[in-house]
Amino acid sequence: MPLRPPAGFISANYDPLRNPDAPTGVTASAGDAQASVSFTAPANVGGSAISAYYAVSNPGQITASGASSPVTVTGLSNGTAYTFQVWALNTFGPGAFSAASGSVTPAQARGLFAGGYTGSASNVIDYVNIGTTGNATDFGDLSAARRFLAACASSTRGIFAGGQAPGPTNYATIEYVTFSSLGNTTNFGNLLAARYDLAGCSSSTRGVFGGGSPPATDVIQYITIASTGNAISFGNLTVGRNNLAACSSSTRGLFAGGDSSNIIDYITIASTGNATDFGDLTIATGTLAGCSSSTRGIFGGGTPDSNVISYVTIASTGNATDFGDLPAGIQKLASCSSSVRGLFGGGDSASTVRAQIAYVTIASTGNAVSFGNLTSARENLTACSNAHGGLA
């Protein structure tokens, strides 16, 4: 990395006609010992094209570079608050530092598995540390025992919506937990209507829920995760369906499968409107699960007792590609992820309810590997995490 002066200093050799201007609009989102720093490139690149951008942390002056936004800064300390500045480099030298981003605090990647059914509905919320294999630990409880619910999350809040208790009682309830604090859920608001068999995904600010029953619907609705309140209409899926799966990057949400469908739809999370056709899964299936890194979406399991895992590149429309296999054919499972690992937990295999959690490394195709077990075996559960691909 080229040497550069301290923040705020402009050298005597700085030439605004040759050195690039400072990037603008710098924001950061935290992950597990890392942060993704986004910015807008300067309009004035100086006397030659910008060759690299450098993001610098405060405290620590930990630096990472990239050819464009975002730049991922690794080696941060979980639990420490950081801001970031960005500067650009061309052949004439470094430009000025940007204004600092807002403060973010990296945290250990934590996955939550909630609700489900094993002879009776469950209110259990389990947690795992995604970077470390091992069995799940009790986190707290949902406000009511139910199955067929959906989840999404920001880096600080996990959101649980809808569901059904045997009887049946259908729920419009939305509730949340704070990842950093073990405990029971708190009321958030309500869906547009009582729904179960729906799917959820999110960016760092907005949670989106699509599909569900009764009856099978094409409704998409959203919430602002940091602000409690009722869901608002977003648009419609290309086809109404239930038992679908969802995942996201920071800009796009994908809704896949459902009702023995191979359809994948996408939305732009920040802009309300109807979903658009993305492509097809490798098989037509429902009761599957989905998770993602910031670039790749993963879908696994499904009806009837499928062990298939497939993937898509979220930024590029097209059909899914084979990724590998789950340890066994399984449906009614749940999935969550960090930017590195995707976890698949629970479910129903050959009429035997399972407690198993398996994982994949999202960037590398291959079969899933044993991670550990849930605190109790159950199916029709949901999952979310504080480090999924929608936060990058």
Q: Which two tokens stand for residue 386?
A: 């504080």
Give the domain range for residue 183. Answer: 110-391
Answer yes or no: are the C-beta atoms of 299 and 261 closer than 8 Å: no
User: What is the DSSP track for 169-188?
Assistant: EE--EEEEEETTS----EEE
**One domain, residues 142 and 99:** no
**One domain, residues 138 and 95:** no
* Residue % of the chain over a pLDDT of 90: 84
Core vs surface per residue 281-303: b (16+ CB within 10 A) or e = bbbebbbbbbbbbbbbbbbbbbb
**One domain, residues 217 and 347:** yes
Using the 3D structure, point to which of 107, 125, 147 is the last residue of a domain: 107
pLDDT digits (tens, 9 = 90+) for 9-18: 455 566 667 8
Residue 8 confidence (pLDDT) above 80: no
Q: What is the pLDDT of residue 31?
A: 78
Mean pLDDT of the chain: 93
Q: What is the pLDDT of residue 308?
A: 97
Residue 121 confidence (pLDDT) above 60: yes
**One domain, residues 128 and 227:** yes
Residue 3 confidence (pLDDT) above 50: no
Q: What is the pLDDT of residue 13?
A: 60
**One domain, residues 90 and 177:** no
Total Cβ atoms within 10 A of residue 233: 11
**One domain, residues 141 and 251:** yes
Using the 3D structure, point to which of 60, 78, 107 is the last residue of a domain: 107
Using the 3D structure, point to which of 75, 107, 139 is the last residue of a domain: 107
Q: Which two tokens stand for residue 275?
A: 């979903």
Residue 364 confidence (pLDDT) above 90: yes
Between β-strands 356-361 and 369-373, what pairing exists: parallel, antiparallel or unpaired? Answer: antiparallel
Answer yes or no: are the C-beta atoms of 219 and 211 closer than 8 Å: yes
Task: Tell me the β-bridge partners of 71.
Answer: 37
**One domain, residues 11 and 120:** no
Quickly state the pLDDT bin for 260 (edges 50, 70, 90): confident
Q: What is the pLDDT of residue 118?
A: 86
Q: Please count the structural domains in the chain.
A: 2
Task: Tell me the β-bridge partners of 187.
Answer: 175
Residue 145 confidence (pLDDT) above 70: yes
Q: From edge to edge, which strands make up the β-sheet containing 110-114?
A: 137-141, 124-129, 110-114, 382-385
| Residue 62: CATH number of its domain | 2.60.40.10
**One domain, residues 138 and 89:** no
Among the residue ranges 59-63, 133-137, 257-261, 363-367, the one predicted with the least confidence is 257-261
Task: Tell me the β-bridge partners of 253.
Answer: 248, 267
Residue 105 confidence (pLDDT) above 50: yes
Answer yes or no: are the C-beta atoms of 184 and 140 closer than 8 Å: yes
Residue 150, classified by CB atoms within 10 Å of its CB into exposed (0-12), middle (13-18) or buried (19+), is buried
Residue 318 confidence (pLDDT) above 60: yes
| Residue 365: CATH number of its domain | 2.120.10.80
Mean per-residue pLDDT for 81-85? 97
Q: How far apart are CA 300 and CA 265, in angstroms?
A: 17
**One domain, residues 126 and 268:** yes
316: Cβ–Cβ under 8 A, 6 or more apart, which residues? none
Q: What is the pLDDT of residue 352?
A: 73
pLDDT digits (tens, 9 = 90+) for 147-172: 999 999 998 999 999 999 988 899 99
* Residue % of the chain over a pLDDT of 70: 95
Q: In what helix (H) or strand (E) does residue 141 lie, and over which residues does it extend? A: strand 137-141
**One domain, residues 290 and 368:** yes
CA atoms 359, 360, 361, 362: torsion sign:
negative
Q: What is the pLDDT of residue 299?
A: 98
**One domain, residues 119 and 102:** no
**One domain, residues 84 and 139:** no
